Chain A
Amino acid sequence: MISCRDFITELGNLLDEDVASEIREQLEAHLAHCNTCQVLYDSTRKTLRIVTESGSFEYPEPIAEPLVSKVMDRIRSGCEVED
């Protein structure tokens, strides 16, 4: 039987659905009797859903074009090569 520590180690792979079936079975068996890991798994999964759907750190559309121009201006005039 796997421990809570083992479960947490595998949690990232479980969230990414990147676990072999034999490991998944072990993890699910652990979840069935461990309330703490159940809550941890559920709330981390929901956190991820909220993060992914939040639209955070979006590119501010009104400045997108001016920014492209600034970059290209600098490149076209930019023979002042620095490293």
Chain B
Amino acid sequence: MLRWFENPSWRIAVGFLPEVDETLSAESLTTLKRNFGLAPRIYRALMIRPDLVDAQVRFLDQLLFTKGALTRVQKEFILLAVSAENNNSYFPALHCQTLQFLGVKPEQSQQVAIDHREANLSEPDVALLDFARKLASTPHSFTDLDVDSLRKADFNDEQILEAVLMVGLTQFLNCIQMGLGTEPDFKPRITFSVKEVNPPIVSERQIVEPELPGEFVSDDPDFEIVARVRKGETDAFEELVRKHGRRVYRSLLGIVGSPQDAEDALQDAFFKAFQHLPHFEGRSKFSTWLVRIAINTGLQRVRSRKEFDRIDEDDEEFRPRNIQAWTETPEDFYSREELRRLVETEVMKLPVKYRVALILRDLEEVSTEEAAAALGLSIPGLKARVLRGRLMLRESMVPYFSKAVAGKS
């Protein structure tokens, strides 16, 4: 279980140095959580000098997190490529998650670390990462010709400066992590072993199943039934359909919108799950794996209707409007049936990516970790979508529940 996440405690051994009883400033903690979803151990490992952590986080915020001359993704790619150049696996693991949050697929991030020239990047971005890797690996051979190579690729001086600073920042961070022996924050979905960073041949990526901490897996209540089905007892699958039909249906209805489509998709999803059961390795709970199949089935249907909003597009910041106080028990003004219809109508108006996240968390009440795994998202990515869905839904409810309205009804 991800204890550090549920109960962030500073008194955890995070590396070679002893733990200390200090706390990070709220500003730093907020900045880190906003960008990573947690305070990574690399910063907690420095808590003997919290003032230096604060200074670092401010620098990180200004150079990396805040929009500058280079894009955030370009800067993250530099961090990834240079860390891989150093055979550092802490930062690629952490920042692949961050990049996924920014809409970059894990396959592409992995490829940037392994060999950015084969990562489907634009020519200027390839030049940028050539520059970064060279500066990191052979700084003594760096000359003005290298800077010119970036100018030729249309980078301006401010961008070049940021590129150099990003290389420097990455070296600094890598050095701290290796010097303090900071363990990774979580079992990474993709790891870069030393071999994989400089492979003799490009290795194939192989992640399909979301990984969850071991505790979940051994506790899987469906373990036995799944084993029976795998041994050829087809009828035992019926128990799984009956048990999980409700959750699958609910998730699907929330995606596809109509009961008829949800029923069709439910049949497809269970059929696919049955077909692929031999490949299910039990690294996640069966129910998480099933919901993931169901969601993909539902999304395929929505995509084919061309109503689909791109799931990997950048999320611009959402500013809540309509700030009007609500009555104490707004639900008292409507019948249960009216409330149900209202919620269904308004939830269906949300863009599908927020809708699915919200349904899993707030209707199915699936844990954050499981919902993230089912949607193939990082934890910060999932949290951001759930919050956005909740805020949009809140806004659509204001006309029904604000004091002004309720008073008149």
Seen from chain A, the residues whose Cβ lies within 8 Å of a Cβ on chain B are: 2, 6, 8-13, 15-16, 18, 20, 22-23, 26, 36, 39-40, 42-44, 46-60, 63-64, 67-68, 70-72, 74-76, 78, 81, 83
Contact = CB atoms under 8 A, between A and B. Distances in A.
Interface stretch (B56-64, B82-90, B103-111, B325-333): B325-333
Nearest to A75: B274
A75 B34 contact: no
Contacts of B331: 49-50, 53
Contacts of B33: 9-10, 13
30 contacts: A8-B320, A10-B30, A39-B323, A39-B325, A39-B326, A43-B394, A44-B391, A44-B394, A46-B330, A47-B397, A50-B343, A50-B397, A51-B343, A51-B358, A52-B362, A54-B336, A54-B340, A54-B344, A56-B340, A57-B359, A63-B263, A64-B245, A64-B246, A67-B249, A70-B267, A72-B238, A72-B241, A74-B271, A75-B234, A76-B234
Nearest to B39: A20
B270 interface: yes
A68 B238 contact: yes
Interface in B233-279: 234-235, 237-238, 241-242, 245-246, 249-250, 253-254, 259, 263, 266-267, 270-271, 274-275
Interface string B325-362: 11000110000100110111001000000000011001
Nearest to A81: B275
A2 B387 contact: no
Given A6-B30, A56-B347, 13 more contacts: A6-B34, A12-B384, A13-B33, A43-B324, A48-B362, A48-B390, A50-B331, A50-B401, A51-B343, A51-B362, A57-B359, A71-B267, A83-B275
Given A12-B390, A72-B238, A43 B398 contact: yes
Interface of B: 6, 8, 23, 26-27, 29-30, 33-34, 234-235, 237-238, 241-242, 245-246, 249-250, 253-254, 259, 263, 266-267, 270-271, 274-275, 320, 323-326, 330-331, 336, 339-340, 342-344, 347, 358-359, 362-363, 365, 368, 383-384, 386-387, 390-391, 393-394, 397-398, 401-402
A2 B250 contact: no
B164 to A, nearest CB: 30
Contact of B266 (A6, A12, A55, A71): A71
Nearest to A65: B242
Contacts of A75: 234, 237, 270-271, 274
B320 A67 contact: no
Nearest to A7: B30
A50 B345 CA distance: 13
Given A12-B390, A18-B6, A47-B394, A78 B326 contact: no
Nearest to B27: A2
Contact of B401 (A12, A23, A46, A56): A46
